Amino acid sequence: MALQDLTPQLRTRLSRVERAVGWFVMLATVLLVFGFGYYVYQTAESKGWFKTKAKYFTFVESADGLNVDDPVTLMGFTAGRITDIKPMPPMNFHDNVYVEFELQEPNIGYMWTEGSWAKVAASGLLNKRTLEVTKGTGGHAIYINFPVREIALADAGNFSDPKWRLAEDVYQPGTTQMIARAFRPLTNLNALAAIGKTQVCILDLGTRKKAITAEWNEQENRYDIYAKTNQPYWLRAEESPALS
């Protein structure tokens, strides 16, 4: 039966039903989208997708008992996860297996250049092992979130505000005698000039960013500006064999 054959009352009632069905479908779609979005958000929150992460690596004798996505612990708490495990090239006679892992905030702040190690220990049966990192005891924070920049030593006098601090350890050439230490005020400029330095790395202690801004360079004794392409920071490993 064609719609024009219906009485005006039936056509009006049918239009109301169609509108009701349309509103119901629209509401159901909105609820479905909202529910899916909430699920994605909760999943991202639980997996730490929104948290700042820092990368580290170590070398172990054997990959036995270690797997990608295994948790990394710190002081008994889950602090991150293993992201990569691969054998080293055949011609590398010093290191066997490369293990890369990441830690999430706020655990990054516990990692310092002194006292922070990677420990691989047996855990339970079936050759299972766990990766644990230790809390730092001194030195410098491995990753920081203060802006870092390199300036000419001649311009350092323009950064007299106490918020500007040195971002490197400076030693007397050829010795282990430290002339200036990272995070100290820029007050020892004459001594830096006396050893021939022309550039100096500084950081802004008065500005704290949410993301990582710099990574400690162990070879250069300074902070390097951080980018996602930076080499992860190396931690020495203490390793115990898996249980048979």
The three-state DSSP-derived secondary structure of 138-175 is: EEEECEECCCEEEEEHHHHHHCCCCCEEECECEECCCC
Task: Name 155's Cβ contacts closer than 8 Å, sequence gap at least 6.
Answer: none
What's the pLDDT at 195? Answer: 92
> From the centroid of its chain, how far is CA 192?
33
SS3 of 46-91? HHCCCCCEEEEEEEECCCCCCCCCCEEEECCEEEEEEEEEEECCCC
Query: What pLDDT band is residue 227 in, cutting at 50, 70 and 90?
Result: confident
Query: What pLDDT band is residue 10 in, cutting at 50, 70 and 90?
Result: low
What is the number of alpha carbons within 13 Å of residue 223 lying toward its C-beta?
A: 30
Do you know the residue count of the chain? 244
What's the pLDDT at 35? Answer: 79
Per-residue pLDDT of 107-121, as tens digits, reads 999 999 999 999 998
List the beta bridge partners of residue 129.
122
Per-residue pLDDT of 160-211, as tens digits, reads 899 999 999 999 998 999 999 999 999 888 999 999 999 999 999 999 998 9
Per-residue pLDDT of 65-80, as tens digits, reads 999 999 999 999 999 9
pTM: 0.79
**Both structure tokens of 139:** 């030195």
The single residue listed with the structure tokens 């001594």 is: 191
What's the pLDDT at 193? Answer: 92
100-113 average pLDDT score: 95
- In angstroms, the CA 62 to CA 154 distance is 51
In 3-state terms, what secondary structure has residue 224? strand
> What is the DSSP code (8-state) at residue 183?
T
Per-residue pLDDT of 41-63, as tens digits, reads 566 555 656 688 999 999 999 99
Task: Give the count of beta carbons closer than 10 Å to the beta carbon of residue 85.
Answer: 16
Query: What pLDDT band is residue 233 in, cutting at 50, 70 and 90?
Result: very high
- In angstroms, the CA 119 to CA 102 distance is 15
